[in-house]
């Protein structure tokens, strides 16, 4: 393969070939970085223009198992449905590429990204976006802006840009930025923390007065990244992002195909209708805006359309709908910018009322019904053991991996008043579940358990994913699972007219639809564990981003205080909640706990309905059961064995002689019970000073004999006649 461009980036070199393969596509880029090879293609359907007001773009990121010398797992030996990683990567590329298309672009567009070869150190999500952008930039479509990605990690306290996968595994930060040479477009972030921080243990709600936040400072390990530190990382990553895109545009320019003539959708709004609605029916628009539920607001606007059509019978309803929508959007934004008041009467920083009910499902291990304004999530937790983990494979890892913390998010149509059937998991549902997982995972110590959280969205009016985070944390506490911190989530928005801007806390659906930014932030009072941001207006400055982060922190603190108060009211589902107990014993007692041929431990497992795991090296015992009663019973039984006077341990040494009792005769010898109750084996060859055919010819069960300690084999004692 002949490569046309060699792009040298920080910690990575990318080689591109244009025009060598996939020549019938509108654009194609063959990318090689290390031993990773990716082909990205762009194809548009020039025979059809979709008239609806959306961009008909589809992005598919597809991994081929042969890329890593693997055969597909499972019964069918060919690639089938996309993995979660493939779906999430497709979504990341889509969200980054979509803002590049000009307004009115209505041609169905397919971007396909195929991974043909993969090494163990390449960041496939970064390379996927870079390849897709190269294919689009050099295509014959009228797009003249490059978009690319930079990932940032923090390894041993040092910032690493464009890290290898090995470095990323050892990182306390995973930050994915995408943007152009001038604008930041998208952020995906999660923090693994693990650094000492000072924390105020006595908080007065800073939403009321930030200067009043006083208390006692303490130090502990945090899994959240402080806002100031994150902003510093943003600055360095953004600078590299801008420089990289400038380099791409310079080196790709000569390979761009001649642009084809394209017809854009003419989306004009009838000015006469707009002026009529604005002057005659503005109060009706304001009333409709106060209907917080999407279905109620849609009904109010539909009734307004019917009312106006009775006044203006010659008008076309579709055009009138656009005119009403424009006036409504103008009013929503003007009210925020001019009056600093939102459609539901809230101040810009105000969070909607929150109610929390835990363990509302008596047969589930734990549950939480979290309601914030018109958004409601029922989050249900189920616990299992190590064998219940989700198995999965990746191109860059050897063998099968196990995922023992899962967050699944479901968004049925009835949550927004839509009559739609419940089908398979959509990309949005997978993405929101992944965001909630990244938010909660750093604070959970499962120690071998498997936990599945399922969020059923029962009502949605803004940021159901953040309700999932809050409800997910409360479900963890309602299952008595240990966490290192309290984590909540809040969705932020922004409205800007170019000169002025307003940042909104806890946005509702109306503000998401008519605003300029969707910015989800999760974390503790100390910092951020996960974040996701999409910019609709074409970039955002770091100064505005910093302001949004601190406003989010104030709102998050307010929510956390409510959650902490609710924690005190939790009543566990003791009857159904699995229980886990950890404790240590002297490893020398393990033989008695296990018993001969495992008899003792099997009897405990059956009697108390538990699973028992014992580390033979350090004596750590883990008991898992269906309820606390069984676990407590098993622990008591083990401690009874350990503390029994019968086995007050004697320190045996080779050569010691003791009187023992013949406990059991077997074909190959006899088990002799020593003075402290420990069993030793007297092999048939040691029973007498002559050859013995049957042990029972020489010894009888219950007989007292003198024996000598010959050797130790692990926890087993080999004996001879004294």
For 605, the token pair is 């497992």
Residues 536 and 642 in one domain: no
The contacts found for 633-637 with CB under 8 angstroms, 24 or more apart, are 633/607, 633/608, 634/604, 634/605, 634/608, 634/610, 635/581, 635/583, 637/604, 637/607, 637/608
**CA 62: distance to chain centroid?**
21
Quote the CA–CA distance of 42 and 26 in Å, as a whole number.
6
Q: Which domain holds residue 684?
A: 657-721
- Cα atoms found within 13 Å of the Cα of residue 381, Cβ hemisphere only: 33
Domain CATH for 694 = 2.40.50.140
The residue from 647, 667, 691 where one domain ends is: 647
For 525, the token pair is 């009072």
Q: pTM (2 decimals)?
A: 0.80
Q: How far is CA 316 from CA 306, 309, 326, in A?
A: 11, 8, 16
Residues 154 and 250 in one domain: yes
Tell me if 652 is assigned to some domain.
no
Average pLDDT over residues 200-225: 44
Tell me if 344 is assigned to some domain.
no
- Tell me, letter by letter, the H, E, C secondary structure of 437-465: HHHHHHHECCCCCEEEEEEEEEECCCCHH
Domain CATH for 587 = 3.30.1370.10
pLDDT (tens digit per residue) in 281-301: 888 888 887 766 667 777 888
Q: Residue 144: is its pLDDT beyond 50?
A: yes
pLDDT on residue 650: 62
Residues 526 and 439 in one domain: yes
**CA 174: distance to chain centroid?**
12
For 97, the token pair is 């590429």
Q: Is 296 in a helix, a strand, or coil?
A: helix
pLDDT on residue 217: 39
Tell me if 346 is assigned to some domain.
no
Which tops the pLDDT comparison, 402 or 222? 402
CA-closest candidate to residue 18, choices 6, 33, 35: 6
Average pLDDT over residues 339-366: 93
Quote the CA–CA distance of 109 and 46 in Å, as a whole number.
9
pLDDT (tens digit per residue) in 685-696: 888 888 888 888
Quote the CA–CA distance of 90 and 111 in Å, as a whole number.
9
Q: Residue 200: is its pLDDT beyond 50?
A: no
CA-closest candidate to residue 180, choices 124, 237, 244, 91: 244
Residues 456 and 511 in one domain: yes
Quote the number of domains for the chain: 5
Beta bridge partners of 15: 6, 32
Quote the CA–CA distance of 436 and 466 in Å, as a whole number.
7
Residues 376 and 444 in one domain: yes
Q: Residue 108: is its pLDDT beyond 80?
A: yes
How many helices and strands (H and E) does the chain possess?
A: 15, 31
Domain CATH for 445 = 3.30.230.70
Backbone angles phi, psi at 286, to 5 degrees: -65, -40
The residue from 206, 222, 255 where one domain ends is: 255
pLDDT (tens digit per residue) in 568-599: 999 998 878 888 888 888 887 888 888 888 88
pLDDT (tens digit per residue) in 468-482: 999 999 999 999 998
pLDDT (tens digit per residue) in 471-524: 999 999 999 998 999 999 999 999 988 788 999 999 988 888 888 888 899 999
Residues 181 and 77 in one domain: yes
Q: Residue 403: is its pLDDT beyond 70?
A: yes
pLDDT on residue 193: 57
Find the distance separating the first CA and the last CA of the chain, reported in whole Å. Answer: 81
With beta carbons less than 8 A apart as the criterion, state whether 359 and 366 touch.
yes
Tell me if 263 is assigned to some domain.
no
CA-closest candidate to residue 463, choices 522, 417, 423: 522
Residue 104's region, left for phi above 0, alpha for psi from -120 to 50, else beta, is left
With beta carbons less than 8 A apart as the criterion, state whether 312 and 274 touch.
no
**CA 403: distance to chain centroid?**
11
Which residues lie closer than 8 Å to 468 by C-beta, 6 or more apart? Answer: 377, 379, 407, 409, 432, 433, 436, 455, 457, 489
pLDDT on residue 207: 36
- Cα atoms found within 13 Å of the Cα of residue 331, Cβ hemisphere only: 23
């Amino acid at each position: 393969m002949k490569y046309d461009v060699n792009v040298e980036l920080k910690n990575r070199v990318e080689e591109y070939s244009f025009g060598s393969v996939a020549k019938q596509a509108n654009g194609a880029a063959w990318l090689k970085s290390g031993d990773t090879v990716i082909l990205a293609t762009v194809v548009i359907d020039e025979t059809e223009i979709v008239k609806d007001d959306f961009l008909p773009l589809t992005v598919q990121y597809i991994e081929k198992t042969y890329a890593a010398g693997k055969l597909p797992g499972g019964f069918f030996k060919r690639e089938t449905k996309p993995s979660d990683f493939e779906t999430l990567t497709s979504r990341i590329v889509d969200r980054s590429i979509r803002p590049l298309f000009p307004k009115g672009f209505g041609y169905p567009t397919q971007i396909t990204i195929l991974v043909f070869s993969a090494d163990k150190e390449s960041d496939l999500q970064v390379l996927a976006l870079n390849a897709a952008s190269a294919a689009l930039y050099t295509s014959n479509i009228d797009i003249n802006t490059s978009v690319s990605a930079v990932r940032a990690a923090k390894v041993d306290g040092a910032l690493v840009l464009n890290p290898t996968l090995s470095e990323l595994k050892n990182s306390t930060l995973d930050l994915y930025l995408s943007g152009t040479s001038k604008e930041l477009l998208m952020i995906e972030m999660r923090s693994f923390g693990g650094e000492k921080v000072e924390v105020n243990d006595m908080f007065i709600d800073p939403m009321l007065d930030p200067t009043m936040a006083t208390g006692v400072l303490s130090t502990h390990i945090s899994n959240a990244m402080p806002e100031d530190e994150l902003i510093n990382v943003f600055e360095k990553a953004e600078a590299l992002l801008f420089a990289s895109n400038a380099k791409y545009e310079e080196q790709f320019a000569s390979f761009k195909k001649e642009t084809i003539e394209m017809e854009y959708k003419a989306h004009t709004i009838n000015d006469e209708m707009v002026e009529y609605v604005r002057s005659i029916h503005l109060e009706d628009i304001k009333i409709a805006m106060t209907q917080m539920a999407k279905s109620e607001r849609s009904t109010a606007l539909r009734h307004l359309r019917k009312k106006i059509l009775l006044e203006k019978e010659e008008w076309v309803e579709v055009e009138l709908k656009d005119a009403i929508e424009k006036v409504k959007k103008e009013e929503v934004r003007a009210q925020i910018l001019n009056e600093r008041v939102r459609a539901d009467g809230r101040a810009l920083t105000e969070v909607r009322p929150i109610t929390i009910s835990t363990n509302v499902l008596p047969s589930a291990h734990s549950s939480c019904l979290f309601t914030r304004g018109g958004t409601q999530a029922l989050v249900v937790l189920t616990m299992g053991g190590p064998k219940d983990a989700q198995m999965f494979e990746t191109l860059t890892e050897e063998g099968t991996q196990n995922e023992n913390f899962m967050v699944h998010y479901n968004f049925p149509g009835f949550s927004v008043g839509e009559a739609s059937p419940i089908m398979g998991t959509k990309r949005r549902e997978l993405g929101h579940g992944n965001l909630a997982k990244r938010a909660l995972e750093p604070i959970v110590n499962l120690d071998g358990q498997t936990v599945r959280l399922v969020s059923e969205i029962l009502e949605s009016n803004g940021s159901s994913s953040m309700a999932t985070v809050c409800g997910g944390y409360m479900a963890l506490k309602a299952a008595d699972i240990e966490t290192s911190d309290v984590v909540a989530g809040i969705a932020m928005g922004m409205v800007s007219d170019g000169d002025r801007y307003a940042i909104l806390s806890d946005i509702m659906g109306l503000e998401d639809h008519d605003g300029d930014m969707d910015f989800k932030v999760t974390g503790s009072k100390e910092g951020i564990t996960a974040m996701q941001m999409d910019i609709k207006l074409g970039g955002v400055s770091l100064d505005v981003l910093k302001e949004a982060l601190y406003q989010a922190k104030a709102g998050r603190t307010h929510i956390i205080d409510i959650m902490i108060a609710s924690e005190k009211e939790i009543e566990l589902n003791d009857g159904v909640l699995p229980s886990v107990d950890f404790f240590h014993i002297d490893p020398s007692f393990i033989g008695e706990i296990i018993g001969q041929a495992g008899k003792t431990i099997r009897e405990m497992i059956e009697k108390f309905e538990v699973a028992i795991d014992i580390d033979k090296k350090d004596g750590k015992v883990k008991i898992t059961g269906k309820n606390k009663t069984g676990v407590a019973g098993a622990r008591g039984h083990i401690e009874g064995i350990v503390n029994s006077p019968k086995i007050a341990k004697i320190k045996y040494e080779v050569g010691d002689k003791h009187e023992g009792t013949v406990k059991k005769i077997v074909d190959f010898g006899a088990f002799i019970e020593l003075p402290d109750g420990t069993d030793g084996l007297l092999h048939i060859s040691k029973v007498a000073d002559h050859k013995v055919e049957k042990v029972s010819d020489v010894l009888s069960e219950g007989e007292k004999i003198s024996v000598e300690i010959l050797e130790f084999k692990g926890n087993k004692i080999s004996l001879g006649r004294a």
